[in-house]
Structure formats: C-alpha cells, structure tokens
Amino acid sequence: MKKIHLFGIGVIAIAIAIIISTAGDASQYVNFEQAREMAESGNSNKIHVIGELKKDQNQNVIGVNYQPQIDANYLSFLLIDDNNEEQEVVCYQPPASMKDFEKSEKVVVIGRYLDGKFVASEILMKCPSKYEENTIQVSEVK
C-alpha cells in the first residue's frame, strides 16, 4: 500500500472516532414526564423539552421571575409541554437578551431535572415571524 492510502485510512478512522464520540452526547426531545423518568433512572444527559410559556385568559405571559437588578443570573418561568404538563423551569445563566422572551411562540429548554425542578442550561426561543404572510388589499387603478 502507498503512504497516501494509509494516510487516507487514518483520516477516515479518526473521523469515525469523532462521530461515534459525539453521538453519545446527542440529546433528545422529550416531555416533562419522560425527562423526570430519565432523571429518576440515573440518566444525566442533557434533554430538550419544547413547550409554551404559561398564559392567562388574556394571553399575557404569567409565572416569569426575572429581576436582573437583583440577580441577573436567575430566571424561572412556567412552561407547558406538548402533553399540557406545567413545570417550573430554572435557568442560572439566562440568555443575554430577554426582551423578546415573553413574545416567544415556543420555547426549547435544554437541561436536566435537579431537586424536582427542570434546570435549563440553554434556552432557545421561537419568536413570531415578522415575515408571516399578511393579506394585502390591492385596489384597481382606473
């Protein structure tokens, strides 16, 4: 075999090793019940939970506790998952920009259960699109 072939096989072997090592860290989307069961069984991998912020009858977001003047490193909020289960989520390193947090359509929290609370290490927000299709009325010019 030529040296170039051995080098190519080595590169492929290293790429496969990297893929296998990172595949074990891949998290999965679950609801709060599944996340709780995973934590109780000893699984400490990061978990993705998707949900919506809790709202009152007037569609105002409720249950958000974020006071950056007192502690900018603490955020808690109520999230309702796809099975309509409500859970308090705590984040000790909230995103830098919290101005659109309450406008989010969906929120993805990435973290794990600790002491009965879901502790998020990351928060991803799906905000309403400003590019949604609107009805435009066109009048004819005569």
pLDDT value for 136: 54
pLDDT band at residue 25 under the 50/70/90 scheme: low
pLDDT band at residue 85 under the 50/70/90 scheme: very high
pLDDT of 138 > 80? The answer is no
Instruction: Look at 19-23, 24-28, 59-63, 89-93 and tell me which has the smallest mean pLDDT.
Output: 24-28
pLDDT value for 88: 92
pLDDT value for 103: 81
Q: Which two tokens stand for residue 122?
A: 């990351």
pTM (2 d.p.)? 0.69
Nearest to 72 by CA among 48, 51, 93: 93
Give Cα separations from 26 to 70, 86, 137 (angstroms). Answer: 35, 25, 47
Residues 80 and 61: beta-carbon distance below 8 Å: no
